Amino acid sequence: MYLLTPHILRRFWLFLGATSCVLKSRFFTHRPFFISHVITSRCFAKCPTCLWRGQSIEQYDTTKIIKFYQQARNLGFVSTTIWGGEPLLREDLFEILGECKKLGMIVGIITNGYLLPQYYELLSKYLDFLIVSIDIPDEKHDQLRGVPGMFNNLLFGLKQIRGINPYLKVFINSVVSELNYKYVRKLIDFAEDLSLSITFESVNQGPVEFPRQEGKTVVDLRLSPEKEREVFNLIYQLKKKHSSINNSRSYLKLFKGGEVRYICHAPEISIRVYPDGSVVNCQDRTRSIGNVFEENLVDIIFSPQMKRLQKKAHSCSQCVDSGVIESSLFWNINFEVMANSMRLFIK
């Protein structure tokens, strides 16, 4: 049973806010309200699955970034998730997070956790949610990601941050691929030992999004259809007993059923901004639909390119990550997904 503490009431309030954004956009405005900010493509890790580490032109002028967020807030954007590359490598991250908070946005980051021991205190002050990626819950994680000490650092950081701010939403994110599918049960145990929850997602494949020396494409890391069905069926069954699993049953069902078809609404829900400010055209990643540091955001989100992208996305089911699929299902008023999201906000 949940006690109605001020924190739970605040989270319920945030959930209502997010739901009203979805409904407003779906039925009236058709414009996005979340930001997915790839703030840097720099990273010291070498995860074989990664599509977003590499070289890119990066905007270092913090005032331009803050101006973008001010415009976004004025246009009704309510939340940003900052990731990369490794977002904790951005020297001005806390300045940006602070401004976003002042603007009243819900802010979160996705990190590999290596630098958590250095930054957990600051993060606990600035963030509404923290997502830490774990592929294998022991030192084998270091080998997979190519960084000695990664697992111990993230474990230490997670414990510290839980200790100083038990109310911060902390999620584990685990990309299920050929490299780690055998660890699903262990990952759930790991999350539960730390009183955390965990999201599983399948691996997006294709060419890397920023140029780099090694690993120019991610292929053959997604599970074979049979194996994917088996592993996601296992997660589906485990979810009956483990409320620590964040995925909705609807998301898991798509994978355990073997046919991942959904109507994508990602461009009506969020914009993805790259390190140079370009707004990603997910249908053609060699072109962008605008640049938030060079144009007014209002012109980008009402542009004909944006309209075209929103329409084209409806017949695409390319992305398999939980963010795109769960939000698209929510948009389609899938009650199970809505109830599951409310549980995640409040828990």
Binding ligand SF4 by CB under 6 A: which of 56, 112, 244, 278? 112
**Minimum CB distance to ligand SF4 smaller for 80 or for 112:** 112
CA–CA distances in Å: residue 96 to residues 64, 91, 108, 340: 10, 10, 12, 30
Q: Does 115 engage in binding with ligand SF4 (CB under 6 A)?
A: no
Q: Does 90 engage in binding with ligand SF4 (CB under 6 A)?
A: no
**Minimum CB distance to ligand SAM smaller for 25 or for 79:** 79
List of long-range contacts for 29-33, beta carbons under 8 Å, 24+ apart:
29/76, 30/268, 30/310, 31/75, 31/76, 31/268, 31/301, 31/302, 32/77, 32/267, 32/268, 32/269, 32/270, 32/271, 32/301, 33/76, 33/77, 33/78, 33/79, 33/269, 33/270
Cβ density class 46-73: b for 16+ within 10 Å, e for less: ebbbbbbbbebebbeeeeebbebbeebb
Q: Does 45 engage in binding with ligand SF4 (CB under 6 A)?
A: yes
**Minimum CB distance to ligand SAM smaller for 89 or for 122:** 89
Q: How far is the CB of 131 from ligand SF4 (least distance, A)?
A: 11
Q: What 3-state class would DSSP assign to 283?
A: coil
Count residues binding ligand SAM (CB under 6 A): 19
Q: Does 84 engage in binding with ligand SF4 (CB under 6 A)?
A: yes
**Positions in 117-156 near ligand SF4 (CB under 6 A):** 145
Q: What 3-state class would DSSP assign to 265?
A: coil
Task: With contacts defined by CB under 6 A, name the span among 4-12, 80-88, 122-130, 183-191 that binds ligand SAM.
Answer: 80-88
Q: How far is the CB of 333 from ligand SAM (least distance, A)?
A: 26
Residues in contact with ligand SF4 by the rule CB under 6 A? 43, 45, 47, 50, 52-53, 84-86, 112, 145
Residues in contact with ligand SAM by the rule CB under 6 A? 43, 47, 49-52, 83-84, 86, 110-112, 133, 173, 175, 203-204, 218, 321
